[in-house]
């Protein structure tokens, strides 16, 4: 039994060794195949990418202070009623442009108008009494006290007439200034109370923009300085105005101060409440390096550009397949792209400022960036380059 068991164990051992050899060979072959495939892919010759390019330009820019502002009407109110009553007539349409003093609506005023007739009758009587007492006083028949009483009675009636006419005038609603009306808030026959809104009225030309700057810029701005504005609702247009007011106090919560600029708005394109980007034009200038915005690759770990240089003769493919090169199938690219991290600054039109990472005159790729890799070959084709205007014209874009 002992000899048979030893033979059995020996056979099992050989079988296990054979299985290990077979499976080890299979796994080894698989690993070797993957390794060779990775080597082939890493060293595979790739065709150069076609891109457009431009030179890093040195320009002279006027210094600007950028801020975010909100547009506000020169005058803007909700026209309200001053009396209680029923809407008798409406003399405007929603969205209409009106002049100052234009009659907008009327409330019923029948009892008040009837009271005017009563007071007019009292006035006529008081005038006759005063005239008669005056004649009697001149003849020495009436006393000065009687004359004063007649004068007081007449003055009281006249004052009551003024009060009544003012009461009636409160039942007429007029435009307090010239501007554009909003949407009508009342209807004919509607009962209204004092303070109820009838319609909104906005004076849109000119128009204000309110914005704030950091306290460190307080001494750099003054009334009369030019500002340039772009509205989010009208991105292709620029509007110009001047600073008309500067708040003398600094907000201690955020260390900023408020400014107000006035802009012409004859076409009424700018509307109250619009979001706007404001740039205050300063007198000094600075030299900057700029590239088209399309040349920047934006990434969370940093922005970069691809600088294009002449190839030094070796294949610009990020690696080479020696076997293919031996057969002459891989040719050196004339240009290669070098990825370089940069720091960006102010944007103006199609251009963006580069504060660090490039030098004037260097050539950078402006399109096809997704196809590029570091030290990869490129072909330059500038038949249709991206726009490079500091103040682009939307009609030509």
**Burial category of 133 from C-beta neighbours within 10 Å (exposed 0-12, middle 13-18, buried 19 and up):** buried
Question: What mean pLDDT is reported for the chain?
Answer: 83
Within a domain: 236: yes
Q: How far, in Å, CA of 343 to CA of 213, rounded? A: 24
Among the candidates 252, 285, 318, a domain finishes at 285
Within a domain: 266: yes
Q: For the chain, how big is the Rg over CA atoms in Å?
A: 43
Q: Write out pLDDT tens, residues 168-216.
A: 777 888 899 999 999 999 899 888 888 889 999 999 999 999 999 999 8
| Same structural domain, 149 and 224 | no
Q: Write out pLDDT tens, residues 214-252.
A: 998 898 899 999 999 999 888 878 899 999 999 999 999
Q: How far, in Å, CA of 222 to CA of 280, rounded? A: 10
pLDDT attached to residue 396? 46
Whether the per-residue pLDDT at 1 is higher than 60: the answer is: no
Domain residues for the domain of 279 are: 65-72+205-285
Lowest mean pLDDT among 55-69, 84-98, 163-177, 321-335: 321-335
CA 47-49-54 angle, 5° bins: 150
| Same structural domain, 317 and 376 | yes
Which residues in 344-359 are b (16+ Cβ under 10 Å) and which e?
Answer: bebebbbbbbbeebbe
Within a domain: 196: no
How many domains does the chain divide into? Answer: 3
Q: Write out pLDDT tens, residues 306-320.
A: 999 988 765 444 443
Whether the per-residue pLDDT at 3 is higher than 80: the answer is: no
Q: For residues 57-77, give the mean pLDDT.
A: 89
pLDDT attached to residue 383? 84
Within a domain: 119: yes
Within a domain: 348: yes
The closest alpha carbon to 92, from 82, 83, 78, 102, belongs to 102
The closest alpha carbon to 167, from 101, 89, 114, belongs to 114
Whichever domain contains 373, its CATH number is 2.40.420.20
Whichever domain contains 260, its CATH number is 2.40.30.170
| Same structural domain, 304 and 268 | no
Comparison of pLDDT for 363 and 120, the residue scoring more: 363
Cis peptide upstream of residue 206 (ω within 30 degrees of 0): yes
| Same structural domain, 224 and 304 | no
Within a domain: 324: yes
pLDDT attached to residue 45? 59
pLDDT attached to residue 318? 45
Q: For residues 120-136, give the mean pLDDT.
A: 83
In a 13 Å sphere around the CA of 146, the CA atoms on its Cβ side amount to 13
| Same structural domain, 372 and 296 | yes
The answer to whether 237 and 276 are in contact (CB under 8 A) is no
Report field, pTM of the whole predicted structure over 0.75: no
Within a domain: 329: yes
| Same structural domain, 317 and 279 | no
Within a domain: 85: no
| Same structural domain, 269 and 318 | no
Q: Write out pLDDT tens, residues 341-360.
A: 999 988 887 899 999 999 99
Q: Which residue has the tokens 């660090």?
A: 356
| Same structural domain, 375 and 305 | yes
The closest alpha carbon to 363, from 341, 338, 389, 384, belongs to 338
Q: For residues 370-395, give the mean pLDDT.
A: 77
| Same structural domain, 226 and 261 | yes
């Amino acid at each position: 039994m002992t000899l048979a068991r030893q033979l059995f164990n020996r056979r099992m051992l050989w079988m296990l060794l054979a299985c290990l050899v077979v499976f080890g060979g299979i796994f080894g072959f698989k690993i070797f195949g993957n390794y060779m495939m990775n080597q082939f892919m890493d060293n595979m010759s790739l065709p150069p990418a076609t891109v457009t390019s431009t030179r890093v330009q040195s320009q002279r820019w006027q210094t600007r202070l950028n801020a975010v502002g909100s547009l506000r009407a020169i005058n803007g109110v909700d026209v309200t009623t001053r009396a209680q009553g029923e809407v008798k007539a409406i003399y405007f349409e929603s969205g209409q442009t009106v002049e100052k003093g234009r009659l907008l609506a009327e409330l019923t005023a029948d009892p008040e108008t009837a009271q005017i007739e009563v007071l007019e009758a009292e006035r006529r009587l008081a005038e006759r009494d005063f005239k008669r007492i005056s004649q009697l006083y001149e003849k020495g028949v009436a006393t000065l006290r009687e004359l004063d009483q007649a004068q007081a009675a007449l003055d009281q009636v006249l004052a009551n007439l003024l009060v009544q006419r003012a009461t009636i005038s409160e039942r007429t609603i007029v435009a307090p200034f010239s501007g554009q009306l909003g949407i009508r808030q009342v209807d004919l026959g509607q009962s209204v109370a004092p303070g109820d809104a009838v319609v909104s009225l906005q004076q849109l030309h000119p128009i204000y923009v309110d914005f704030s700057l950091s306290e460190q810029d307080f001494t750099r701005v003054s009334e009369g300085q030019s500002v340039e504005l772009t509205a989010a609702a009208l991105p292709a247009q620029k509007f110009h105005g001047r600073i008309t007011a500067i708040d003398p106090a600094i907000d201690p919560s955020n260390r900023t101060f408020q400014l107000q600029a006035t802009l012409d708005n004859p076409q009424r394109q700018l509307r109250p409440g619009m979001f706007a980007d404001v740039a205050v034009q300063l007198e000094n200038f600075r030299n900057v390096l700029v590239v088209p915005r399309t040349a920047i690759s934006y990434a969370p770990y940093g922005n970069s550009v691809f600088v294009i240089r002449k190839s030094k003769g070796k294949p610009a493919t990020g690696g080479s397949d020696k076997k293919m090169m031996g057969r002459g199938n891989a040719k050196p690219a004339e240009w290669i792209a070098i990825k370089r991290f940069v720091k960006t600054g102010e944007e103006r039109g199609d251009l963006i400022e580069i504060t660090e990472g490039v030098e004037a005159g260097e050539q950078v790729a402006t399109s096809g960036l997704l196809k590029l890799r570091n030290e990869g070959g490129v072909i330059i084709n500038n038949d249709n380059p991206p726009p490079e205007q500091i103040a682009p014209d939307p009609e030509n874009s």
